[in-house]
Amino acid sequence: MAARRIRPSLYISVDIEADGPIPGPYSMLSLGAAVSGVQDAGGFTAADPEKHTFYRELRPVSEEFVPEALAVSGLDRERLAREGLDPALAMAQFSRCVREVSGDAQPVMCGYPASYDWTFLYWYLIRFTGASPFGHSGCLDMKTMYATKAGLPLRAVAKGIMPRELLSRRRHTHHALDDAVEQAELFANLMEWQGPGSPSR
């Protein structure tokens, strides 16, 4: 019996900004993505996170919003209602971008934490394009990854407790593309980190 061919994984850091806790009643207002690196049988190779990026601002899908959630991003809902990209077009463009940069590799979304961003991303992909280039489970949570390598309970993990050499030197701005690039660097460092007491690179 022939050995099963394992395709490489292309890790794409994704960050979204939204105006509430769940998609549908609330809206994803912006989407940023940056390629972090590729993993194959030979290991992980980091990418320049600024080389392959994607950013769109979207038109809201409902009238509801949570003011505190909206304030985090600093985005103007009224402007986005007029000028934001139609969600169906934005998600079609994103899916095409993911497929183009992935080539023969399997794309994997990674986030910090992935749960919130993945919930919006997957809902929007299925709702507006009918499919996800990541499949239904192609996401990886950086908090879980760090907790596992560091031997810590998940709820004890925060960026503030991580070794400084793991963290990006970029600021976390709550602009979706800025944060996707920052977290792409964090992911690449985590992939190469062997655990407490070891260098990150």
177: enclosing H helix or E strand: helix 176-192
**Across the chain, what does the average pLDDT equal?**
94
Instruction: Give the model's pLDDT for residue 170.
Output: 86
Instruction: Give the model's pLDDT for residue 194.
Output: 86
| Separation CA 145–CA 143 (nearest Å) | 5
Nearest to 110 by CA among 84, 72, 142: 142
Instruction: Give the model's pLDDT for residue 39.
Output: 97
Instruction: Give the model's pLDDT for residue 2.
Output: 52
43: enclosing H helix or E strand: strand 43-46
Locate 20 and state its tokens: 């509430």
| Separation CA 14–CA 117 (nearest Å) | 7
Instruction: Give the model's pLDDT for residue 59.
Output: 98
Task: Out of 52, 136, 172, 174, pick the active-site residue.
Answer: 174
Nearest to 22 by CA among 59, 69, 86, 58: 69
Instruction: Give the model's pLDDT for residue 4.
Output: 63
Locate 154 and state its tokens: 């998940």
| Separation CA 19–CA 62 (nearest Å) | 10
Percent of the chain topping pLDDT 70: 96
Instruction: Give the model's pLDDT for residue 195.
Output: 81
Global confidence as pTM: 0.93
Largest CA distance in the chain: 60
Q: Which residues of the chain have pLDDT under 50?
A: 200
Locate 27 and state its tokens: 């809206």
Q: What are the b/e assignments for 88-124, b being 16+ CB within 10 Å?
A: eebbeebbebbeebbeeeebbbbbbebeebbbbbbbb
174 is catalytic: yes
pLDDT digits (tens, 9 = 90+) for 3-28: 567 899 999 999 999 999 999 999 99
Nearest to 190 by CA among 121, 117, 118, 141: 141
**Are the beta carbons of 22 and 119 closer than 8 angstroms?**
yes
pLDDT digits (tens, 9 = 90+) for 50-73: 999 999 999 999 999 999 999 998
Residue type at 9? Answer: S
**Are the beta carbons of 109 and 139 closer than 8 angstroms?**
yes
Locate 88 and state its tokens: 């169906």
